[in-house]
Chain A
Amino acid sequence: MKWLYDFSYLTRAIHEGLSTRFEPGTVVILEMVLVGITFMLLFALLGLVLVYAERKVSAVIQQRLGPMRVGKWGTAQTLADVIKLLLKEPLINKDADKFLFNLAPFVIMIAAFMAIAALPFAKGLHAIDFDIGILYVAAVSSLGVIGILLAGWSSNNKYSLIGAMRSGAQIISYELSVALSLLTIVVLTGSLQLSIIVESQANGWWIFKGHIPAMIAFVIFLIASTAETNRGPFDLAEAESELTAGFHTEYSGLKFAFFFLAEFANMFIVAGIGATVFLGGWMPFHIGSWEGFNAIMDFIPPIVWFFGKVGFMIFMMMWFRWTFPRLRIDQLLTLEWKYLLPINLMNIVLMAFLSLMGWHF
């Protein structure tokens, strides 16, 4: 069970096992394939679990039961939905730009895959550890909007186009807030590398160590990242009541499933970034010098901590989504440019001051 606490034992064992059998070049390719398959399985699993969780959370919040018929407590409902989506006919609009139409879902999925590669899941379980990790993730996670714009443009449908354009305006605005709120913590860590950011939280998470500015940054991150994933009160891009389904109106079957999966994958990614930067990634919860308490917390494997924190962040996003009414486009931009951005800039100055004076823990 040693590998559960430090995954480098497992990864090194796999690497050595492969190295004895194949040449170095083949080993690299095989490892890449292995990592790719792992992430694909992770996404498939995440899709199944998160769709079910979303439906159940929304149901209980609205005093309903949610899916209850397929399997015990409806647990097999998403599996049944997947089979239904696989069997559906992939329709293409007659006047659609067929190449871009088919390309769009893949662009979105590729963006999600690129972003998840840089996330540290547990000790030693980290596909690529860039030294500009946060910059990379912030840059790549907003690439998904290209897929949305392509989908909206190529559908040859005015609702799709309006949805896609709204999504573009939204991501350009909110990407600023996401990056700036992450920068607030980077001021403290002094590094963009995600593994170093996680290591720096061994004696306490940044949200506690950074006092008020870190809390403000966390709230801003929660709001802006919800907007960036086109979810919750910011789902203007698909606004069911105004634009039928926005950019994915014309999609069906497996391609629609890709958009659906990408939404949940993006949600997982932003929740993962938030958990890594603000809530300590896979670091257990430690309180100062309480040795016994800290030992118990250390006993819980890091991967459980990571997924627990991500689960908490995702639950917050679901809570937002099923509580708040959808914003109008002008309200959306007012919120970003008149409130979040100025507060964020002031917050960074405050954090820099705090960091200079050494007032953080």
Chain B
Amino acid sequence: MKSVINYFKEIYFGLKSLITGMRITGHYFTHPKEIITQQYPENRETLKMFERFRGEVVLLHNENNEHKCTGCSACEVACPNGTIEIIHKRVDVDGRKVKALDTFVYHLQMCTMCGLCIPACPTDAIVMANTFEHAVFDRSKLTKVLNNPGSKIMDGIK
């Protein structure tokens, strides 16, 4: 007797689970507004990338062409695949030779967008931008210099 009850129970719960699934897909079918596909080249003007998308590393500059990078190389050490190269120079500050940033070289072709360099930076000089159109015709264009020409460090950043 128990097996007979189990047999019909199985049919009942089987049908119930099938209908649950069909209700979900039926909901999606009747709500085309919930479609998440973006038609990329067409909506290029209106497309807004997500805040947390990691596209490339940028060095922030303010309106006076000043950045916060001290050239400490913490990001270079943090990078797991040698994407960042910091080239130093020595500048005179109050008669002392002080280490400072000369060139911030960033190899986009090697970057895995892991974002480990961002928390490693003691002065919050670099951030991950959410740009994504990185295709170029020449590989050498992927090697970028992040500090603007003629830029210097912000006052008070050590």
Question: A: which residues have CB within 8 A of B?
Answer: 57, 60-65, 68, 319-320, 322-324, 339, 343
Contact = CB atoms under 8 A, between A and B. Distances in A.
- Of A60, A62, A319, A323, the most chain B CB neighbours within 10 A belong to A323
Interface residues of B, number: 15
Contacts of B5: none
A62 B28 contact: yes
A60 B39 contact: no
A319 B11 contact: no
A325 to B, nearest CB: 9
Contacts of A63: 28, 34-37
A323 B22 contact: yes
12 contacts: A57-B29, A61-B25, A62-B28, A64-B35, A64-B36, A65-B35, A65-B37, A319-B25, A319-B26, A323-B18, A323-B24, A339-B11
Contacts, number: 36
Contacts of B82: none
B55 to A, nearest CB: 24
B35 A319 contact: no
B21 interface: yes
Contacts of A323: 18, 21-22, 24-25
A60 B31 CA distance: 8
Given A60-B29, A64-B36, A322-B25, 19 more contacts: A57-B29, A60-B32, A60-B35, A61-B25, A61-B29, A62-B28, A63-B34, A63-B35, A64-B35, A64-B37, A65-B37, A65-B39, A319-B22, A319-B26, A319-B29, A323-B22, A324-B18, A324-B21, A339-B11
Nearest to A342: B7
A57 B32 CA distance: 11
A315 to B, nearest CB: 9
A339 B35 CA distance: 37
- Of B29, B32, B39, the most chain A CB neighbours within 10 A belong to B29
A61 B28 contact: yes
A215 to B, nearest CB: 12
Q: Which 5 A-B pairs have the closest CB atoms?
A: A65-B37, A323-B25, A61-B25, A323-B21, A64-B37
Interface string B33-73: 01111010000000000000000000000000000000000
Contacts of B22: 319-320, 323
A68 B39 CA distance: 9
A62 B32 CA distance: 10
A65 B26 CA distance: 16
Nearest to B15: A219
A320 B18 CA distance: 9
A45 to B, nearest CB: 24
A228 to B, nearest CB: 19
B43 to A, nearest CB: 12
A343 B11 CA distance: 11
Contacts of B36: 63-64
Contacts of B11: 339, 343
Contacts of A339: 11
Nearest to B23: A323
